[in-house]
Structures are given as C-alpha cells and as structure tokens.
Structure 1
C-alpha cells in the first residue's frame, strides 16, 4: 500500500486508536481523517475531537448515528428475534456494518485511498469491518494495524505512545483489567479477569445494570406498542427508535435485566468468554415474541424460527450487506405486516415476564379455545379423522416392524 496518501480511521479517542493514528502517520506518511460514531456508548465525544486535533488531524468527523443505528440495523434484526448460539443478542456485531459503511462513505467524500480500523487479528470485528467495506466498495483498501505492526505487547504500545507524546491514562499503564465495547444496544466485556470461564465475573465488570438481587422488591410494569414488527411506544407514549431503546435500557438497568455470561464460538475459530449487558434489548425481544404469538400464523412463525439461527450467524460473521441476509430480511419483513398491538410486561429482579398482550389483528379466538360452550365453532369429532390420517404412515411402519421382528 505504498500509494496510500490519505486514510479514514475509525477513531474512538482511546489509547489504542490514538496509537494507530500516529502509527499511520509515521508508517505510511499518510494524512489521516478520523471518524468517531456516537452509537449511544455513553461517553462524551468531545475528548476524541480534542485528541485528534492535538495529533494534527484537520478533517474530523464526529457523527450522532443513534437513530440510524436503531432504525436501520437494530430493529430489522429484532424483527427476526435473532440470537447467536441461542443467547447472544448481537450488540457488537450489529454496530460494525454501520461504522464500516460510514468509513467507506467518508473515504469517498474526502478522496481517501484507504480506511483503517483498530480490530485485532484474533477477533470477529476485523472480519465484520472488512466484509462490509468490500461489499460496498470492491476496490477499497483496508489497513489493519494489529495485523501489520511490530508491537508485541501492551508495554510496546505504551512505549510508542510516550515517545510520540500521546497521553497515557493511568489505568492504561500496564495491563488493562478487561476490554469493553458499548453502544445503545449493549455493553460487552472480554479478556483479562474474564478469561477463565470457570470464575464468576467480579461485580465491577457490570456497567449497564444493577445486580438482580439489588433490584427493587416491587415489580415494574411496562407496556410496549408495536407496528409492523417494530416497537413504537412505551406506556402509550410514541418514541423514536433511539428514544425507545434508551427508555427500555433505563427500565432494564433499574431491574437488573439483561446480563449474560457466554462462551461463544468466534468466526475465526476460537472460543471466547464474554460478559454482555443488553437491558433494553432483552425486554424488546420478550415483547416482540409475545406480540408475534398473537399475530403470526403457526407455519409462518415456525419457518421464521427455523431461519433465525442462519440469520444470526450472518450478522455475527459480518455478512450484513450480503445477498443472503438481504433475502432473509425481505422474508422477515413480509412476515411482520400484521405484527401490531401492545404487550404488557412485568420486570422483576432480572426477569422479564409477559403478563398480557392484545392486537387488533390477533389470530387468537376465544370461541375456538374455550373449555365452555363454543356454540359450534369447532366440532371435536373432526379430530378423529385428522388423527387417523396423520397416523397412517406410523401405523404402516409399525405393521412392517411387527412382521419382520
């Protein structure tokens, strides 16, 4: 990449990406453009701008992408009820395609030759960033410093920072206790004190939720309204996508909801242990499944559930902009046409309990399911023929088994 003259860097303002910024300047002699996305990570972004300016950056992009993140990435994923390996709500995975998309767009806007990211060579994020970039621009150049530079340890990084007048926070001198990624959907913590999956995580790891045992003794009730599969209101108040997820996060935080301790299979082949907190997402998933239980046809619901693991894998692996994910999304979105109504939930000490659901497009029929007089809505005698027909092949198999056993 000797011809790289200008690079757009995904920049958090932290120590690692500041080192990367300087390393790009030194190694490539390139002009660096920084891009910092506000995805609701809960951090002030002013310091990122000031640090970029201190390092001589002229073009600094700091963008509030919270609404786009929830509207165009989180909500479509939640229409599928996506869970990777049955547990993980994909909070980090779903943020990466948006960041990478803006990196490519900014590269086009500024005439940059390449984009750069701070993902390591062991993780999933390098794959997610780069698959997205190549899907959107097949000719884009991608620089991944962790796969290129000569640094072998945290000490090497800090030595480089000190030699280049990059401020090193006190808690970053030596080994960090664990690595954190956060956005409006979740926070994830990995590494160091969490690397032994046999040991319970220390309490200070959790930053988005109170401990369930410390949650109030009185339950909190909340009603979530849906239209076309997307949540649109909380307790009757219509909210924008980002506002709604923020509200659910607050309710989940205060009731100790959304903690998981997961050993997952990374795309690159290794297992890793992570601590995830997804308070609002956990509430949203329970509410969405509840409203679907009223409004989705049985076979449509079962088909959707059978496709969910494949969809979740595509998101986790970084194939958000791949045709197969888009095909599945079209199917899912079609299924959500009549998914509307309200779900009432009880939040209590880490639990999300569905206590009521209603919809003007409900397929639930009192007349069909009642144990009382159904006034002819269902003839129970019809079930005998239904069972005989479904048992025909089983009876045939059983007869052959008897003949030859």
Structure 2
C-alpha cells in the first residue's frame, strides 16, 4: 500500500519534499553543485568559475602539508590512548579542507577556530606541540593569538562565529578593508562544523555579518555528523544555500579536494578583503575518525559509509595525481616520511615533558587588572596552600 505522505510529495516526517526527490542520488556525493578540481581518482578537472592553475611546488606543498597534518592527528590520538592527553579532537579525512583553507590565507588574515583546526594552525605557523597543552589540561592554549593571527581554540560550539564577525567589523573601522592594497587589506575566517550551523550564535553571526557587510568567510566543514546526529536530521536543504536567506552568497566545495578548497576559499577571502562582504563556504567532507577520542562512531554509523569515503581520501587523490604526472619520486616520499617521523618524535617527547600547572595558576590570565575581590581570594587560597607546606616541613601530616 503506498505511503500517503510520499504520494503528497512529502517525506515521512510530513515536513516537505523527500530529500532524495529534491537532490537525487548524487546528493550523497555533494550534489551537482559541488565545486571540484581533482576527482577521487586523481584526475584533474576544471570548473567554469573557480578554475585555476597550480605549480608543481604548490601541489607538492599541499601533499606535504596534508601528510604532516595527518601525522599530527595520528600521534595525538596515540598519546591520548596512552593516557598522555585527556581527550583529542580528530581531523582524519578533513586534511584537504583545512590545508586548502589555511594556505589561501594571507599573513594579515585572522582565523577563529573551533577545537579541530589543527591543519589551519599548522598553516599559520603554530608549533603543533602547542596544541597539545589544552588537551593535556596544562594550559588553555599556549600560543599568542596576536602573533599568529589565529585565535585560541573555542570549545563553546559556534561562539567563535560571533567573535569573528565582531573582529571583522573592527577591521572595517580600522581601515584595512577595500583599500586596494594587497599588503593591507585583510579578512577573517570563522571555522565551524555542520552541527554548529544549528546553533543560535552562528545564525546571529550571519545576520550581523550581512547587515554590516563584514569581511568574514564562514567556513563550514560539513563532515556529515554532529557527533551522532547525521546531516539529514539537521537541515532540509544543502547548508550552503542557507546563506541566501541571510543575504550573502554560499558555495559548496569538495572538502576532500585540496585544490578546489584552496581556489574557493581564496576567492571568498579576496571578496571579503575587497569590501564585498561575507561568504559561506561549505566544505563537503567526511569525518573518517571519531568526533573525539571519547566517541565510538560504530554505535551510530555504518562501516560501509566509512569504506566508501576512504575511496575519496584527500591525500591519496593528490598522491595519485603527483605520481601520474611525474611530480614526485621515491626520494621525495622517503624524505617526507622521515620528516613525519621527526614530527611524531617531537610531539611525543614534548608532550610528556610538559610541566604540570601549579594550583595558583588558575588566577593568572583572567584579568589584565585583577579586581580586589579576586586578589583577596587568591591570597586566601595561597595562605591555605601554605598550611600544607608548613605541615610537611614540620614532619608530615
């Protein structure tokens, strides 16, 4: 017997057209609107709007960046499994989205990350060892945001989009947008995931960015899962199409294609620097690992889906292209493996040698000028700690 809801052109929830009817079977691959320059098989293709040429050095650089970024992720995951980190947010499978977006930045551009932008941090010159302190619980992020133009990791889902929009509005008032000087004009990138797109903060950021024509690129890594919630339960339309409702353009790019991601992000950033306002970039990718190391994705997704996405691996497709065109050789691969091994050793040794914080450090870096009430609390806590030291000095407790 036919389903009445289906006969009415509605899905089984009764909320409108069935997604399969609207987008067709290609929706599982990002749909026909997906911007792609390199296929999963490593074949170069072209796009009428975002096509561009890449030098051999650029492509080798993209490949190196992604290999090293994956090694950072692998080492940090292993460190967590050995009890050296409290938690780790994996990026396995999202290397192209992050390296493509990260390498499109100019030094003066500012990034507001979530807690998973390890590849973008690497592109901004941050020692990946500094990322581990937060996940080890010994600091809140051990880098200077002003030095790298890269904000501290944001744990509150979606909050960084408002920070990014406000910062971008400040850039307008500082006169570093639309001047025509490539050394001066700047833009902001706000990174977030598909799950964060359901947060009120993100939608409020869209409203402010559109209203004030803020020079911000909203870069969404749609990895298909908001922890255990699939994208199909989060939206009835492709995420990038939401931008039109707020009054600025959106584009969906193959997030496993580092060439396309670079080209699209570069165009969006230039548009922002020129004073033409915000852009929404949806990097259509897949979280091949767990949400974090506390998550078990086998409880809510099919292994067949993971296996199908492995065939779209962002590193493998670039390697296939480079090998096919004679742009890398055995020496290059061997040297890169050695570099990755050295990076892994640096992370293991550095993580284990991080000093534990003192109890008094909780009062540091809270206020530039500490209020009297907090001074009183700090001094009282210090006096309390000294009683234990006195007891120890006096022969123990």
Same fold by TM-score greater than 0.5: no
State the structure with bigger RCO (CA 8 A, min sep 6), 1 or 2.
2
* Greater radius of gyration (CA): 1
Q: Which has the larger strand fraction?
A: 1
TM-score range normalised by the length of the shorter chain: under 0.3
Task: Give TM-score scaled by structure 2 length.
Answer: 0.25
